[in-house]
Homo-oligomer: A and B are copies of this chain.
Amino acid sequence: MQGTVEDVDVPSASDVLRRCRELVRPALVDAVGRLHPWTGEMAAYSLGWSDTAGTPEPGGSEGKGVRQALALLGAEAVGADAACAVPGAVAVELVHTFSLLHDDVMDADTLRRRRPAVWKAYGTGPAVLAGDALLARAVTGLAETPGHHAAAVRRLCDALNDLVAGQAEDLRFEHRPWDGPGAVGPEEYRSMAEGKTGALLGCALALGAVLGGAPEPTVAALDRAGRHLGLAFQAVDDILGIWGDPATTGKPVHADLHRGKKTHPVLAALAGGSRAARELGTLLASARPTDAAAAERVASLVEEAGGRAATRGEARRHLDAARDALRATPLTRTAARELDVLFAGLADRVM
């Protein structure tokens, strides 16, 4: 039946995500169960499965599982059964969890999905250890997968290196001036965001295709689509980091402004050259907006100088590029439509 009647039986993005989470869940539970019990407890907390006492908290703070869904859809899109991509889905989900744990330590972010970050709940050392355990387990699971493991492990490793380099760039950007010769240029921002966010989304799709036995050009196209999706995703995240509702984002209001992060809306606003851009430049050069009123003023100026609109445009362009990459690739119809729904749903958060 599927794919024979236009626009009828296409599930919603949340249906797609739920189906994929259910398919991956047993293997993800098994992987976490192989960790040392203490790091396993922190992993379960981080995944939103339990509270700090280890008591199950079903569903409450669980992530959407975008990366695991991309891995399964990557396999289905090349005509394979989703089951063959489960080890890839587990690996990218564990790597994502590792990166959240360590990034929260590095960024001193105290909240994650409306709960204390792992380092706040368990301490910095334990959070570092739990991240290490998740990373080791992610690579191990994939290395133990029979079949196409060599290419899959290399894909995961490449994404890991990109992810860490992107995080390094992001941290270094905080020490750079807002404008002048040392300012962060658009290409540098893009490279950071592609590493930090795009690499793992691209890897998720590519791993699904690799495990599904797809030829290299198809794998590369899916990787490209995922990287563009990641850039759209990061643009959306940057908008939410300034104007997002804490009740939805689970993070403090204006968090990125208080930390002086070099996000796309601010960089785009400063590049505008309008009166608001100049005032914004002066304000940011004088001091980091540490109180609510100062952050509010910065947010207004960024909007007035066109930063929010420019970032929305950036998100749309990369979303279009991601969809174009999918359309230019021979993929099975149902999975391609589900990917399209998923891609649109992710960018929809601010459009």
Contact = CB atoms under 8 A, between A and B. Distances in A.
Interface of A: 34-36, 38-39, 102, 105-108, 124-126, 128-129, 131-133, 135-137, 139-140, 143-144, 149-150, 153-154, 157-158, 160-161, 163-165, 167-169, 171-172
The interface centre, meaning the residue of A131, A144, A165 with most chain B CB atoms within 10 A of its CB, is: A165
Contacts of A136: 135, 157, 160-161, 163-164
B171 A157 contact: no
Instruction: Report the 8 A-B pairs with minimum CB-CB distance, sorted nearest first.
Output: A106-B125, A140-B157, A136-B160, A36-B168, A36-B165, A133-B164, A143-B153, A143-B154
User: In the assembly, how many copies of this chain are there?
Assistant: 2
A63 to B, nearest CB: 20
A184 to B, nearest CB: 15
28 contacts: A38-B168, A38-B172, A39-B168, A102-B129, A105-B128, A106-B129, A107-B125, A108-B125, A124-B124, A126-B171, A129-B164, A129-B171, A131-B132, A132-B135, A132-B164, A132-B167, A133-B161, A133-B168, A135-B135, A135-B136, A136-B164, A139-B139, A139-B157, A140-B154, A140-B158, A143-B150, A143-B154, A149-B150
A121 to B, nearest CB: 16
Nearest to A151: B143
Name A's interface SS: helix
A146 to B, nearest CB: 10
Nearest to A95: B136
Contact of A144 (B34, B143, B154, B163): B154
A36 B169 contact: yes
Contacts of A169: 36
B129 A128 contact: no
Nearest to A172: B38
Given A102-B132, A149-B150, 11 more contacts: A39-B165, A105-B124, A105-B128, A106-B129, A107-B125, A108-B125, A124-B124, A135-B136, A140-B160, A140-B161, A150-B150
Contacts of A107: 125
Contacts of A140: 154, 157-158, 160-161
Nearest to A42: B168
A245 B47 CA distance: 45
Contacts of A133: 161, 164-165, 168
Nearest to A167: B129
B125 A128 contact: no
